[in-house]
Structure 1
Amino acid sequence: MQTNNFKSVVKKFNELTLYELYEIMQLRNEIFIVEQNCPYQDLDNKDFKATHILVYLDGKLVAYSRIFDVGITFKEASIGRVITHKKVRSSGIGKLLMEKSIETLYELYGKQNIRIGAQYYAIPFYKKFNFVTEGEVYLEDGIKHIEMIKHAK
């Protein structure tokens, strides 16, 4: 699958259309709750404070993340809810999503350390962006996670 047909959209919460918000919630529900068989409360009141990164392929939302300034999720700036639709995995869309997320975070909040709470299986993916593990493995909603940090250079 070629990744040159993608379109990325960056919006604050109050800039999202109702349709975009529905697409985000639908994709997050499909991946985090149904696919991963993990009933949890996805709506955590942080979406209001986030900048949302949406990636479309041929008009369909296929990847998403949200970014935060310092002090909202961690003491550092952070990226979260990183997802790609299973139909586009291994296509390069996830790489594009992370590059756009990091670039946008730096543009909005300055170049600084970025902390994430990564699902344990995704460590190799995040290492490609110079994130390193920090701390101990922990369970969140029954899924193994670990914090990772990307140091500003």
Structure 2
Amino acid sequence: MPQQTTELRTASFADLNARTLHDLLKLRIDVFVVEQNCPYPELDGRDVEPGTRHVWLTDGGAPLAYLRILADPDGVARIGRVVVAPAARGGGHAGRLMTAALEVVGNRQCVLDAQSHLVAFYTRHGFTVSGPEYVEDGIPHTPMRREAIDG
């Protein structure tokens, strides 16, 4: 059986080539808009901001998992659009991706809005619930925060 190899990548929008951008956006749309039936404007303008970092795992060039890190105006890092391709779920890719994202974030405070069924996953990565659950696009979400790390 051939060994599966994955590669971790990070880039700003300016550093993404057209094919990679297409593949990452297709993954996001396939999961968030089609699978989760959330017809919202997936392209919100934040992907192109200079402070945004795109983090993803590939296998043979195809994206397996993706997230983006936004630089909010208050200096807080915001992780969002966390997605794993359906065929790649259960392989530990989300955990590897989150670990890599937190390395990019460094010591800064970091926030995210977790789908509520994933709160325990984010808790394992140092996040705590920071507000009440709310419903967005028919899906329960929970705001979470990882405080800045001194040092």
TM-score, length-normalised on structure 2?
Answer: 0.90
Q: 5+ residue gaps in structure 2?
A: none
Q: 5+ residue gaps in structure 1?
A: none
Q: Distance in 2 between matches of 1:104 and 1:4?
A: 25
Aligned-pair CA distance for 1:54? 1.8
Q: Deviations over 1:84-132 (max 9, x none)?
A: 11111111111110011111122xxxx1210001111111111110111
Q: Distance in 2 between matches of 1:105 and 1:120?
A: 22
Residue matched to 2:80: 80
Alignment of 1:109-124 (within 5 A): 111-124=107-120
Aligned-pair CA distance for 1:59? 2.4
Aligned-pair CA distance for 1:48? 0.8
Please give the root-mean-square deviation of Cα atoms over the aligned residues, in Å: 1.8
Residue matched to 1:56: 58
Which residue identity does 2:142 align to in structure 1? I
Q: Secondary structure at the match of 1:62?
A: strand
| Cα distance, 1:85–1:58 mapped onto 2, change above 3 Å | same
Q: Deviations over 1:58-77 (max 9, x none)?
A: 32111101012232xx7621
Q: Secondary structure at the match of 1:147?
A: strand
Which residue identity does 2:146 align to in structure 1? K
Residue matched to 2:67: 65
Aligned length: 146
Q: Deviations over 1:6-41 (max 9, x none)?
A: 101111001110001100110001110111111111
Aligned-pair CA distance for 1:4? 6.7
Q: Distance in 1 between matches of 2:75 and 2:103?
A: 19
Which residue identity does 2:137 align to in structure 1? D
Residue matched to 1:146: 142
Q: Secondary structure at the match of 1:22?
A: helix
| Cα distance, 1:4–1:129 mapped onto 2, change above 3 Å | farther
Aligned-pair CA distance for 1:43? 0.7
| Cα distance, 1:37–1:7 mapped onto 2, change above 3 Å | same
After superposing on structure 2, the runs of 4+ consecutive aligned residues of structure 1 that deviate more than 6 Å are none
Q: Distance in 1 between matches of 2:125 and 2:4?
A: 21
Q: Distance in 2 between matches of 1:69 and 1:75?
A: 6
Residue matched to 2:27: 27
TM-score, length-normalised on structure 1?
Answer: 0.89
